[in-house]
Structure 1
């Protein structure tokens, strides 16, 4: 994703927010009053107006209904979501990543997107889109690697990752690419930007092992869970469901190696990939 494209899209969301504020004030609603009518908090309305948080489609539709704007906000939402680089089911999860104060993630088979190198991401996208143009692949790679800026920011979230050993062993992109990818994970951990734990093969089976999950906590909103299936994803914020997922994550954490032992294993597997690359 080119920076220019990101800037243009952000400017469009700022216009969305400015129009929301203008039309809200035209009917003399406070942020709290409008929020009550569309079933969000007044703080959320303020974040929409400042382009900090993007509303979901159903909220945009309710805003149109309450402010009687003839579908303006729904049309603009659809245009902005259509033009952004992520699949619709994942786009809102990306926005929430940027607002999270804490992210806990489990990946059973891959290195999480926020930690991926461009070469690793490119190998994944190429394998999954064998007939795509090079331009499309590069746009997707750029969009994925751009997400990682949140870990470089001074206000970065606490980021806790659990991966299965399988995610370390599968040679995505070949031995050299995989070794470099694991080196990046180690470096990020040593720089205290992520805490990484590995569930080793020796841990055996676990009932939650095959299900990717990402738990996000926020300063001013309830925690949210993101899960993925085949070409689909779900954001879940129902308190009982979130508690169940948090319990599942705790069980996975209990099955994982401690952080120092996990880094030792990651470094050893990186060396295995390097030896394979040299002998190829």
Structure 2
């Protein structure tokens, strides 16, 4: 698929009468990057670069539509169908036992997580996976964005993946998204003890036709569950986790306290700056806040970061 993508770019470039250097200037990359794409060598193009090439070459979205298939090669078979469902889901409910879910990861955190894969073949494959993960996050700001409900085990907050600096910025990111109208973040504290999903992560997807699928994942495996009776059992597990988790406002405070207590440093935004950002996000999302079960309170005020 990467070779097909490159061949299409070359054909369109030549039809437009452009050299590789001229096309590189139009999309703000060096000419050798265009050479790599056309020869299917080096890192695969990011979604942003595919879109820029599409516009520069007048491809009428051909390259953008081909881009996801280029990246399928970068992921194991058992995760691809789940990612396809995720791209269409209208509601995503996730429980994360060990790491922040991919949709909410910063780029540095994502790179640190993906680099831990024992089956990773090369630095090039790592960068492909990072670019693909960052590309999937674009849907959270699109008009058809899904409702996202995330439960984080307390261990997710306290394990400094990538080092304290990377972890601090990741927690800042969680505080930022907690103010978004379509995103709910809750924390499941250690003192809740054991539960049925301790083995790994759990995701429930609601698709446009109302059907639902569940997905469980460990460090090197994944299982997609489509049988309605089995999906219902996982929905019950998720509902129990959500009931045991802290309400959104208390979760916000716990994330903030963990960040300030464990990952304090010079790169941490000031309290005034965080308060200003939170107020701006509230104004953009309608000025509401969330109560314990995820219900929004009109006119409410976010806790002070």
Does TM, scored on the shorter chain, surpass 0.5? yes
> For residues 101 and 82 of structure 1, do their structure 2 counterparts lie closer, same or farther at Cα, with a shift above 3 Å needed?
closer
Structure 2 residues without counterparts, runs of 5 or longer: 1-44, 52-61, 268-305
Determine the structure 2 residue equivalent to 1:65.
Answer: none
Moved more, 146-155 or 113-122: 146-155
Determine the structure 2 residue equivalent to 1:142.
Answer: 131
Retained in 1: the 8 A contact 2:46–2:135?
no
Q: 2:189 aligns with which of 188, 197, 200?
A: 200
- Alpha-carbon distance in structure 2 between the residues aligned to 1:229 and 1:130: 14
Determine the structure 2 residue equivalent to 1:189.
Answer: 178
> For residues 12 and 159 of structure 1, do their structure 2 counterparts lie closer, same or farther at Cα, with a shift above 3 Å needed?
closer
Retained in 2: the 8 A contact 1:223–1:242?
yes
Deviation of 1:271 (Å)? 1.3
Q: Deviations over 1:241-261 (max 9, x none)?
A: 011000000110111000000
Counterpart secondary structure, 1:147: helix
Determine the structure 1 residue equivalent to 2:46.
Answer: 2
Counterpart secondary structure, 1:261: helix
For residues 1-280 of structure 1, the aligned pairs below 5 Å read 2-3=46-47, 4=49, 8=63, 10-11=65-66, 80=69, 83-129=72-118, 132-275=121-264
- Alpha-carbon distance in structure 1 between the residues aligned to 2:124 and 2:252: 35
Retained in 1: the 8 A contact 2:71–2:128?
no
Retained in 2: the 8 A contact 1:103–1:157?
yes
- Alpha-carbon distance in structure 2 between the residues aligned to 1:230 and 1:145: 20
Counterpart secondary structure, 1:103: strand
Counterpart secondary structure, 1:148: helix
CA RMSD of aligned residues (A): 2.5
Retained in 1: the 8 A contact 2:149–2:185?
yes
Determine the structure 2 residue equivalent to 1:43.
Answer: none
Counterpart secondary structure, 2:99: coil
Higher helix share: 1
Retained in 2: the 8 A contact 1:226–1:236?
yes
- Alpha-carbon distance in structure 2 between the residues aligned to 1:12 and 1:189: 30
- Alpha-carbon distance in structure 1 between the residues aligned to 2:257 and 2:100: 16
Structure 1 residues without counterparts, runs of 5 or longer: 14-79
Q: Deviations over 1:101-121 (max 9, x none)?
A: 101000111100110001001
Retained in 2: the 8 A contact 1:81–1:91?
no
Determine the structure 2 residue equivalent to 1:48.
Answer: none
Count of equivalent residues: 212
TM-score, length of structure 2 as denominator length: 0.63
Moved more, 191-200 or 166-175: 191-200
Retained in 2: the 8 A contact 1:103–1:160?
yes
TM-score, length of structure 1 as denominator length: 0.69
Retained in 2: the 8 A contact 1:102–1:159?
yes
